[in-house]
Chain A
Amino acid sequence: MTADASSAGLRSRGLTARTLPRPVVAGAALAAVAVTFLLFAVTPLQGVADFLVAATVLAILTVTGLTLAVEGRRRAVDRLATSGALIALVLTLLPLGFTLGYTAYRGTKRLTGNFLTHSMAGVGPFSPNGGIYHAIVGTLEQVLIASLIAVPLGLLVAIYVTEYGRNAFGTAIRFLVDVMTGIPSIVAGLFVLAFWVLALHKGFSGFAGSIALAILELPIVVRSAEEMIRLVPAALREASYALGVPKWKTILRIVLPTAATGITTGVMLAIARVTGETAPVLLVVGNNFYINTNPMKGPQASLPLYIFQGAGSSSNLDVDRAWAAALTLILIVVVLYVAARLLTRRNSLRR
C-alpha cells in the first residue's frame, strides 16, 4: 500500500481532526488580555494583582472554550491541563526569583571587599564601616564541624539501613530518623543549651552550635543517601558478588560510587539547609563582634545570627549590612553546591 492510499484510507475512516493554528491560539489569549484591560479601564476594577489574575483566568477560559468548539473535548482538556501546569511553574518560580532578586538588589549596596574582610570590632552606632568576616568564619567553622559529625554518621546509618537493616532494628532506625527529621530547630538548640552549655558548664561556643546543627543535618543526610543507595540497581550488586567480591567491598566500590552524584546533592542540600539555621545558633553560640577563630571556646558570630540582629535593628546601617550578609550567605551555599557537583561529575563517566 502506498503512502497516499493509506492516508486516503485514514481520511475515509474519519481519522482526521480539525486543528487550531498556533497564531490563532496566541491571538485568542491576547484578545482575552485586551478585554481584561478594557474591563479594568471602564469598570471600578483595579490593581495589578487583580488584573493579572483576571487576565490569566479569562485567557485560559477563552483558549479552552475555543479549543472545545473547534478541536473537541480531548484537546480542550489537554490545553487546560497544560495551562494549569504552566501557571504552577510560574507561581513556584516567582518567590524564588523575587527572593534572590531582591536580596541581590539590597545586598550589593554594601557587599565590598572591605565588608567581607573586616569584623564589627569597634564599629560605632553611626559608622557605615564594619563587616562580616567574623560571622563568615563562625558560620564556616560551625557548619564544617557539624558536617564532619553528621555526614559520615549519616552515610553509615544509610548504608546500614539499606544494605543490612532488613530487620526490626533497621525498621526502628528508619522510624527514628523520620522522627528526627521533624525536630524543630529551636528544640535542637534548646537541648544543646540545656545539656551542653548549661548542665555540662561548657558555655557558649561555636562547637555547641555545631552539635545542634549536626542533630538537624543528620536525618536529612540519612534520608537522601538512603534514597540514592536504594536507586542503585540490584543487578550491579549481583554482578559484583558474582565476581567474588565481598559485600562490604561491593558497597564501598560499586554501590557508593554509583550513587555518589545523588548522595553529594543530598549532602549539599543538608549543608545548605543548616547553614541558614538561626534558632540553634541564637541559643548556644552566643554572639561576638570580634573575630573568634576558635570554635571550641567562647562566643562566636555567625551569618544567620548577624542577619537576624541586623534586620531587627533600628539603624539603616545595620539593615544594609544584614542584606549584604544575606547575599553572602546565599553565595556561599551556591558556591559550595556547584563545587560539590563539579567534583562528583569529574569522577563519574559520561557517555
Chain B
Amino acid sequence: MAKRIETVELSCFYGKTKAVDDVSIAIEPKSVTAFIGPSGCGKSTFLRALNRMHEVVPGARIEGQVLLDDEDIYAPEIDAAAVRRTIGMVFQRPNPFPTMSIYDNVAAGLRLNGLRRKSELDSAVERSLRSANLWDEVRSRLNKPGAGLSGGQQQRLCIARAIAVEPQVLLMDEPCSALDPISTLAIEDLIFELKDRYTIVIVTHNMQQAARVSDVTAFFTLRGPGEPGYLVEADTTQKIFTNPSEKRTEDYITGRFG
C-alpha cells in the first residue's frame, strides 16, 4: 500500500535557475517526513518534484532520479498523470473546484479518471470524507458548493479529494499555513491517523508542527540569496530537535538564524 520514495542527486531548475541542488534522501513508508527550512530554500519545489508537479511550471525541469519503490518516476515511458494518481498532493491554499458540490469535489478525481458507477462513487466519497474527519460536518449538505465551507473544512475537503483516488503517498505543501489553530489541530490529528496507511511528506514553516507530527525531519537551507537550496541533514525528528549533527540545523532550530 504505502510506498517508499528515494531521490538520487535530485536537482530542480526553473529555466536556467537552479532552485534545488543535489538532494538525496529516502522517505520511508507509513511515516511522516517533515521538510523545514527558511523561505526560498526550495523545499516546496523539491516536494513538487516528487510527484512530477514541478514540470507543470513552464520551463521547469529536473536532473537526477526520483525512485518510487525502486522505479524511476521520471523514466521516459512513465506517464506523469499516473504518477500523480499514486502520489497525491495537498496545497498551501485550499483549492476546491468552485463549480462543484462537496460530493463532486471528492468524486472529481475518480470521475475524471473514468469511474462512473454511482454506488462505488458514493462509498468512495463517504470513506474519503470519513478519513478526512469531515463526514459528520458535511453529510447533510453534500450537494452544496465546496467553496461555501470554512477554510479549515475546505482544506480537509481537499485532503479527502486527494485520498479519494487512493494514492500511496500524500504530499502536503504547508497545508495549515492559511488556517487558524483549531483547524490546524484538526489537520494534524488527521495526519496522525493517515500515517497508518500512507507515506506522508509535509512541508511546514512551523517548527512546533514538524516536531508534533513528524517521525523524520529534513532541514533545507540555502547558502545565500540567489543560491539554490540544499538538504543539510535528515534524521529522526527527535534527534533533529534535540541533538542535530549540523551546526546550521541547530542555529535554525534554536532561532539563531532563518
| Residues of A participating in the B interface, judged by any CB pair closer than 8 Å | 166, 233, 235-246, 249-250, 253-254, 257-258, 260, 347-351
Neighbouring A residues of B112 by C-beta, 8 Å: 240, 243, 245, 249-250, 253
| Residues of B participating in the A interface, judged by any CB pair closer than 8 Å | 51, 53, 56, 58, 81-86, 88-89, 91, 93, 95-101, 108-109, 112-113, 144-145, 147-148, 158, 161-162, 165
Q: Is the CB of B98 within 8 A of A235?
A: no
With the chains together, A350 CA to B165 CA distance in Å?
Answer: 27
With the chains together, A260 CA to B91 CA distance in Å?
Answer: 25
Neighbouring B residues of A242 by C-beta, 8 Å: 51, 53, 84, 88-89, 91, 162
A238-B95, A239-B158, A351-B148 given as contacts; is B100 within 8 A of A245 (CB)?
A: no
With the chains together, A350 CA to B144 CA distance in Å?
Answer: 8
Q: Is the CB of A254 within 8 A of B165?
A: no
Q: Is the CB of A258 within 8 A of B91?
A: no
With the chains together, A153 CA to B145 CA distance in Å?
Answer: 32
A243-B84, A243-B108 given as contacts; is B161 within 8 A of A236 (CB)?
A: no
Q: Chain B nearest CB: distance from A92 CB in Å?
A: 32
Report which of B51, B85, B98 forms a contact with A236, defined as CB distance below 8 A: B98
A243-B88, A243-B109, A244-B109 given as contacts; is B81 within 8 A of A235 (CB)?
A: no
Q: Chain B nearest CB: distance from A227 CB in Å?
A: 18
Neighbouring B residues of A240 by C-beta, 8 Å: 97, 108, 112
Q: Please indicate which of the listed interface residues A238, A258, A260, A347 has the most CB atoms of chain B within 10 Å of its own CB.
A: A238
Q: Is the CB of A235 within 8 A of B99?
A: no
Report which of A166, A243, A350, A351 forms a contact with B85, defined as CB distance below 8 A: A243
Report which of A166, A235, A250, A351 forms a contact with B95, defined as CB distance below 8 A: A235
Neighbouring B residues of A260 by C-beta, 8 Å: 99
Neighbouring A residues of B51 by C-beta, 8 Å: 242
Q: Which 9 A-B pairs have the closest CB atoms?
A: A244-B85, A243-B109, A242-B89, A349-B145, A235-B95, A244-B84, A245-B112, A257-B99, A239-B95
Q: Is the CB of B93 within 8 A of A235?
A: yes
Q: Is the CB of B148 within 8 A of A243?
A: no
With the chains together, A244 CA to B85 CA distance in Å?
Answer: 4
Q: Chain B nearest CB: distance from A266 CB in Å?
A: 17
Q: Please indicate which of the listed interface residues A236, A245, A253 has the most CB atoms of chain B within 10 Å of its own CB.
A: A245
Q: Chain A nearest CB: distance from B98 CB in Å?
A: 6
Q: Chain A nearest CB: distance from B101 CB in Å?
A: 6
Q: Is the CB of A245 within 8 A of B81?
A: yes
Q: Is the CB of B97 within 8 A of A246?
A: no
Neighbouring B residues of A239 by C-beta, 8 Å: 91, 95-97, 158, 161
30 CB contacts below 8 A, A to B, read A166-B58, A235-B91, A235-B95, A238-B91, A239-B91, A239-B97, A239-B158, A241-B53, A241-B56, A242-B53, A242-B84, A242-B89, A243-B85, A243-B108, A243-B112, A244-B81, A244-B83, A244-B85, A244-B109, A244-B113, A245-B108, A245-B112, A246-B81, A257-B99, A258-B99, A260-B99, A348-B99, A351-B145, A351-B147, A351-B148
Q: Chain A nearest CB: distance from B90 CB in Å?
A: 8
Q: Is the CB of B145 within 8 A of A350?
A: yes
Instruction: Kindly report which residue of chain B lies nearest to residue A350, judged by CB atoms.
Output: B145
Q: Chain A nearest CB: distance from B178 CB in Å?
A: 12
Q: Is the CB of A245 within 8 A of B113?
A: yes
Neighbouring A residues of B88 by C-beta, 8 Å: 242-243
Q: Please indicate which of the listed interface residues B108, B109, B112 has the most CB atoms of chain A within 10 Å of its own CB.
A: B112
Neighbouring A residues of B113 by C-beta, 8 Å: 243-245
Neighbouring B residues of A253 by C-beta, 8 Å: 112
With the chains together, A244 CA to B56 CA distance in Å?
Answer: 12
Neighbouring A residues of B89 by C-beta, 8 Å: 242
Report which of B84, B99, B158 forms a contact with A241, defined as CB distance below 8 A: B84
